[in-house]
Amino acid sequence: MPDSPVSIRPYRSADLSALRQITVQSFGGVSLDQILEDKLGIWNERDWKARKADHIDDDVIQNPGGCFVAERDGEILGYITTRLDPLNGKGRIPNLAVVESARGLGLGRRLIVHAIDYMRDQGMKVAQIETMASNAIGQHLYPSCGFEEVARQVHFAMKL
In the chain, domain spans: 7-144
What is the per-residue pLDDT for 114?
Answer: 98
The average pLDDT across 85-112 equals 96
Pairing status of strand 7-10 against strand 90-98: unpaired
Question: What average pLDDT score do residues 94-122 get?
Answer: 96
Is the domain 7-144 a CATH 1.10.40.60 member? no
Round the average pLDDT of the chain to a whole number and report it. 94
Q: How buried is residue 77: exposed, middle or buried, by Cβ count under 10 Å (0-12/13-18/19+)?
A: buried
Distance CA 23, CA 120 (A): 26
Whether 16 has a pLDDT exceeding 50, the answer reads: yes
Instruction: Answer yes or no: is pLDDT of 1 > 90.
Output: no
The model scores a pTM over 0.85: yes
